Structure 1
Amino acid sequence: MTDSYYAGVYWPARLEFAEECARRSATFFRLLSQCDEIYARWFEQGDSVEEALQREFMPDYATFLRFFQQQENQLGKDGFSLGAWTGHTEDGRGGMVRLTCGDASGAYPNCCVLYLPWPEVEPKSARVMTTPVLVNVLRAMVLAWEPLFGVVATHEFRQAMRPARDPRGFAGWLTYLSRARGEVPPLPPPVRTEPVEDKGTLMILAPERLSASNPEHLLLGRRVQEALDAKGLLRPVLS
C-alpha cells in the first residue's frame, strides 16, 4: 500500500481581510516554489481535469486578492477558502493545496494543507519526499501563515497517534510548534530540532519517512508525543 503524505499547518480563529490573506498566500506560494520545481506552476480547480488545465494562474498578490474578492471563495461573514493544484493529472504526482484563512469565528478552522507526491508512483518525485526539501516546505508554511501547529505525516500515522475524535496535535515525521505554545523539552534521539526564525521550533523525528506500518516508527512517535503532551504543547489549536 502506498503511503500518502501531506504537510499541514493550523492556527486558531484570526480575523484577516482579503488583503492580508492575499499577502500571506503570495508569500507561501513564492517560498514553496523555491523548494522544488514541481511547485512552479499552479492551476485553479475545475469541474473536470480539462477545465482545470485551462485555469493556470500566477500566484501573486493581485491574483489572490481577486480570488478572495469572489463570492465562491468567501466563507460566511469572514474567512476565505481556496484550492489549487500543480496540473499533474496522474494520481500521486505533483501536489494540491487546500487553504482556509481569515476566519474569526472558528466555524471554518484556518489551515493550509499541501498533499505531497508519491515517490513509489513517480521516482522523480522522490527528491521532494526527503527531509531537506520537506523542512523547507514546512518552513515556507510557517513563515507565511504563522500557525500554532504544523506536521508532515500520513493520515494513517495520525490515526495511530491519536483516537479519531481527539482534537490535539500529534507527533509526525516533521512537527512544528509555535513558541507561543511554550518551550520544547529535550527529546529522545534521533530527534533533532531547529528554530524557524523567531516563530517556533521544527522537530525532525527521523531522517527517513515515518510510516504507520513500522512499529519502531510508531514507538518513536509515541515517545516524542508523550514528552510534548507532558508540557501541554499539543493541546487543540482552537483551545
Structure 2
Amino acid sequence: MKEDYYVGAYWGPRKETALECARRAELFFHMLARCDPSFTQWYRAGRGSPRELPGWPVHPEMKELETFLLHGRHRTDVGKEVIEDLGFRQMVWNAKREATDLHLSCGKYSPWGGPNLCLLEPPRQGAILERLLRVPVLTEVLTCMATAWDPDFAMVSSSEMVDLVERRKGEVRVGWLTYLSRRLGKVPPLPAPVRIEPVGALGWLLILSPEPMTASNPEHVAFTARVRKLLDRAGLIERPKPEPAGE
C-alpha cells in the first residue's frame, strides 16, 4: 500500500507582519532550492490561480513575497474585513507532472484555528518521490524549515503512521525524522538506531532509521511509538495550550 508522506513544521501563536514572514519565506525558498532540482521554481496555487499551466511564478524575493502573503490574509464572510490575528496563508506548487504542494500559514497570533505551519506534500509516487524519501535530502529539508521558520517541531512521516502513533490532538508528532526546538526541553537518551543531531543552536534532529519508516511494518510502528513514549516521559510531547500573543 502506498503511503502519503509529508514534511511539516508547526509553531504556536507568533505575531509577525507580512514583511517579517516574507523575510523568513525568502530564506526558506532559497535554502529549499538547494535540496532538490524540483524545488527551484514555484507557482501560485489554489483559488484564483490561472488554469493554464504552469501559471504565475512566485519569485523568492522579499517584497514580492510580502505582497503575495498580503493577498492571503483571512477575511470575514460578511464585509470581507481582514482578520488580523489569523495572519497569512498561501499555497504554491512546482507545476511538475509529479507535483509537490507547499502550504504556508504564518503570522497567526490567535490561539484558535490551528497552528502556524509550513507543510510540504511531495508526489504520491514516481521518481521524484523516490529521490526525496532519503535521509540526506529530508535532513536538508527539515534543516531549511527549522532555520527559516523556527518552529516548535517539524517531522517527516506518512499520514498513516501518524494515525497509528499519535495519542492526543495537538501534540508534538514523532515521525521517521523529527525536529524538536530547544524551547520544548531536553532530549533524553534514545534507543539505537536513533541518531540525534543538532540543528545549529535551534534544536535537535532525530533520525529513527536510515530507511523509510512505514505504517505497514509493525516493527516500525512499535519503534516509533516507543520513541514517542520516551519523549513524552521527558515532557516533550504535550504542548501547552497557546495563549494569545501580546498586541
TM-score between both structures, scaled by the size of structure 2: 0.88
Residue 106 of structure 1 corresponds to which residue in structure 2? Answer: 111
1:17-68 CA-partner distances (Å, limit 9, x unpaired): 0110000011111111010000011010145773452212212212211112
Runs of 4+ in 1 over 4 A off after TM superposition: 46-49
* 2:46–2:91 contact (8 Å) kept in structure 1: no
Q: 1:233 aligns with which of 216, 226, 236?
A: 236
Is 1:177 the equivalent of 2:180?
yes
Is 1:155 the equivalent of 2:159?
yes
Q: Which letter does structure 2 place at the counterpart of 1:117?
A: P
* 2:188–2:230 contact (8 Å) kept in structure 1: yes
* 2:11–2:153 contact (8 Å) kept in structure 1: yes
Find the aligned partners of 1:105 and 1:13 in 2 and give their Cα distance: 6
Q: 1:205 aligns with which of 204, 208, 225?
A: 208
Superposition pairs of residues 80-159 of structure 1, within 5 angstroms: 80-88=88-96, 90=97, 93-108=98-113, 109-118=115-124, 121-159=125-163
Residue 10 of structure 2 corresponds to which residue in structure 1? Answer: 10
Superposition CA RMSD, Å: 1.6
TM-score between both structures, scaled by the size of structure 1: 0.91
Q: 1:225 to 1:46 in 2, by over 3 A?
A: closer
Q: List alignment gaps of at least 5 residues for structure 1.
A: none
Residue 73 of structure 2 corresponds to which residue in structure 1? Answer: 74
Equivalenced residue count is: 231
Residue 54 of structure 1 corresponds to which residue in structure 2? Answer: 55
Q: 1:85 to 1:128 in 2, by over 3 A?
A: same
Q: Which letter does structure 1 place at the counterpart of 2:89?
A: S
Q: Which letter does structure 2 place at the counterpart of 1:68?
A: L
Q: 1:49 to 1:161 in 2, by over 3 A?
A: farther
Q: Secondary structure at the match of 1:208?
A: coil
Q: 1:159 to 1:180 in 2, by over 3 A?
A: same
Give 1:111 shift.
0.6
Q: Which letter does structure 2 place at the counterpart of 1:126?
A: E
Q: Secondary structure at the match of 2:65?
A: helix
* 1:31–1:140 contact (8 Å) kept in structure 2: yes
1:163-202 CA-partner distances (Å, limit 9, x unpaired): 4x62212320001110011110010111001000000000
Q: 1:125 to 1:155 in 2, by over 3 A?
A: closer
Q: Secondary structure at the match of 1:143?
A: helix
Q: Which letter does structure 2 place at the counterpart of 1:175?
A: T
